[in-house]
């Protein structure tokens, strides 16, 4: 170790670090809100918004499509948010930027629950819904990359992937809270009550998570690696220019590393819900499950997701990020070829809980394996002075490539070509991930201060 490296290491050890509890809370809460919001909004857009904000009487299909288009608005806004927050995150620091992004996201989510309906305000209500959805997307664009940096830049060198699992674990937590909220609401209220006021509850309750997150983030320290970059005057004036000039290849790699996890998540959580509960003439597979039954199965399977995030991150610290993600990509190709047989009513029959739980649990196990190491792998692809911008842009471009139109594409494919075409779609995305990870260098032992 050179004298300069030794001095840098000593400074990092001497720098004040947040406690593990603070790092967990500060990094996890934002991702929890992200997935809580997106799944709550997706459920509302599919089940309630066609009646509340659009006219479902004349043409229910058109009303549903218009409602789902508002779901995609936030995905389109997220890369813009990553440009804005990434710029300030690499210039001003992780802490301040994360506080602002959480407030932006939280205000947008809460106000959706306060909106007037179409009957009360007409087109104005729809316009404000779209605006608030766009604001959500802007805030979300700065969230994940900042949370990942809070975790990994506070981590011991040999535990970056494990610390990187903290924001990743927010995904199953947010998903579980969203599903659980709708499950309880639909258990104790009929459809009229849900349309009258019940749909607002998940959006209003998000304020609790936002307040908790703000309290934690306001009191946390700036990350030691960013403070070191400030001391060494490595902070650049235009991080975005630097990213696209020097790290465009890493941005592309990051996009396709993450895209398959989004495709898999929304295939498991959104498309399969419709496939399992709706009749064939309505875009489903006629499997005969009720909405509540399927939500309960998803809530059980999401626990598998959380467990495999931690398992994969421990393995990524031990064996390397590439080895874990290569393994998950290969297994996803196999899964994509086989899972359609578990969802084919002519083969498994109706209400086959065992076959459906195998599909969900295996799928979420692979989701956790692929998603877990991303929290460390993406930041490690970029230099410290452009890490917020680079990892954020890659992650949020992946949201468009892998998530924005997955339910629509999967529904169209399955209705025209059968459930096996959805498997082909997922398999292609897994192969794209495999190509991306093979083109990357192993980053387990990279100098994270540079």
Question: Could you write out the DSSP letters of every residue in 349-396?
Answer: -SS-HHHHHHHHHHHHHHHHHHHTTHHHHHHHTS-GGGHHHHHHHHHH
pLDDT of residue 238: 67
pLDDT of residue 64: 67
Query: Residue ranges of the domains in the chain?
Result: 18-219+238-438
pTM (2 d.p.): 0.84
Task: Please state, in angstroms and rounded to a whole number, the distance separating the CA atoms of residues 264 and 211.
Answer: 31
- Residues whose CB is less than 8 angstroms from the CB of residue 362 and which lie 6 or more positions away in sequence, other chains included: 335, 339
pLDDT of residue 12: 44
Tokens at 146, concatenated: 């900042």
Task: Please state, in angstroms and rounded to a whole number, the distance separating the CA atoms of residues 74 and 85.
Answer: 15
pLDDT of residue 56: 57
Query: What single-letter DSSP state applies at residue 57?
Result: T
Q: What are phi and psi for residue 443, nearest 5 degrees?
A: -115, 5
Q: Which residue has the tokens 């892998």?
A: 402
SS3 348: helix
pLDDT of residue 302: 93
pLDDT of residue 3: 45
Nearest in space to 387 (alpha carbons), one of 185, 189, 164, 212: 164
Tokens at 225, concatenated: 């690696």
Tokens at 428, concatenated: 């292609």
Q: CATH homologous superfamily for 18-219+238-438?
A: MFS general substrate transporter like domains (1.20.1250.20)
pLDDT of residue 228: 74
Tokens at 440, concatenated: 């990357």
Per-residue pLDDT of the chain (450 residues; tens, 9 = 90+): 444 444 444 444 444 455 777 778 878 887 788 778 877 887 787 778 888 888 655 666 667 667 777 877 888 888 888 888 877 777 777 778 888 888 888 888 899 999 999 889 888 998 999 999 999 888 888 888 888 888 888 888 889 999 999 888 988 998 889 889 998 998 899 889 998 999 999 999 988 888 888 888 887 777 777 777 667 666 666 677 888 888 889 999 999 999 999 999 989 988 888 889 888 876 788 898 988 899 899 999 999 999 999 999 999 999 999 999 999 999 999 999 999 999 998 899 999 999 999 999 999 999 999 999 999 999 999 887 788 888 888 988 998 888 777 877 888 888 889 899 999 999 999 999 999 999 999 999 888 777
Dihedral of the alpha carbons of 78, 84, 85, 86, in degrees to the nearest 10: 100
């Amino acid at each position: 170790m050179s004298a300069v490296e030794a001095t840098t290491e000593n400074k990092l050890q001497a720098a004040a670090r947040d406690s593990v509890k603070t790092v967990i809370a500060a990094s996890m809460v934002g991702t929890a809100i992200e997935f809580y919001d997106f799944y709550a909004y997706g459920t509302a857009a599919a089940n309630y918004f066609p009646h509340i904000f659009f006219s479902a009487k004349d043409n229910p299909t058109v009303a549903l499509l218009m409602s789902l288009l508002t779901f995609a608005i936030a995905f389109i806004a997220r890369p813009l948010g990553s440009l804005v927050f990434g710029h300030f995150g690499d210039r001003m620091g992780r802490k301040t930027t994360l506080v602002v992004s959480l407030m932006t996201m939280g205000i947008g989510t809460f106000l959706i629950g306060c909106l007037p309906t179409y009957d009360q305000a007409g087109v104005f209500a729809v316009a404000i819904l779209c605006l608030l959805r766009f604001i959500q997307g802007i805030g979300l664009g700065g969230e994940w990359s900042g949370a990942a940096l809070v975790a990994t830049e506070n981590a011991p060198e040999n535990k970056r992937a494990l610390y990187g699992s903290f924001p990743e674990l927010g995904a199953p937590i947010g998903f579980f809270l969203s599903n659980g909220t709708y499950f309880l609401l639909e258990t104790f209220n009929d459809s009229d009550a849900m349309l009258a006021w019940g749909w607002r509850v998940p959006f209003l309750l998000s304020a609790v998570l936002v307040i908790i997150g703000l309290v934690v983030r306001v009191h946390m320290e700036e990350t030691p690696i960013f403070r070191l970059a400030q001391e060494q005057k490595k902070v650049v004036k235009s991080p975005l220019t630097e990213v696209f000039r020097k790290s465009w290849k890493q941005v592309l790699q990051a996009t396709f590393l993450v895209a398959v996890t989004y495709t898999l998540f929304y295939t498991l959580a959104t498309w399969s819900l419709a496939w399992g509960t709706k009749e064939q003439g309505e875009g489903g597979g006629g499997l005969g499950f009720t909405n509540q039954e399927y939500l309960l199965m998803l809530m059980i399977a999401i626990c598998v997701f959380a467990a495999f995030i931690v398992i994969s991150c421990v393995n990524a610290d031990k064996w390397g990020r590439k080895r874990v993600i290569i393994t998950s990509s290969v297994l996803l190709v196999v899964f994509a070829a086989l899972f359609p047989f578990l969802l084919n009513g002519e083969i498994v029959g109706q209400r086959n809980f065992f076959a459906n739980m195998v599909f969900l649990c295996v799928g979420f196990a692979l989701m956790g394996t692929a998603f877990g190491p991303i929290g460390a792998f993406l930041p490690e692809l970029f230099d410290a002075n452009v890490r917020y911008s680079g990892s954020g842009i890659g992650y949020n471009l992946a949201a468009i490539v892998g998530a924005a139109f997955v339910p629509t594409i999967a529904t169209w494919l399955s209705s025209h070509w059968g459930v096996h075409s959805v498997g082909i779609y997922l398999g292609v995305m897994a192969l794209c991930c495999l190509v991306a990870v093979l083109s990357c260098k192993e980053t387990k032992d990279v100098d994270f201060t540079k």
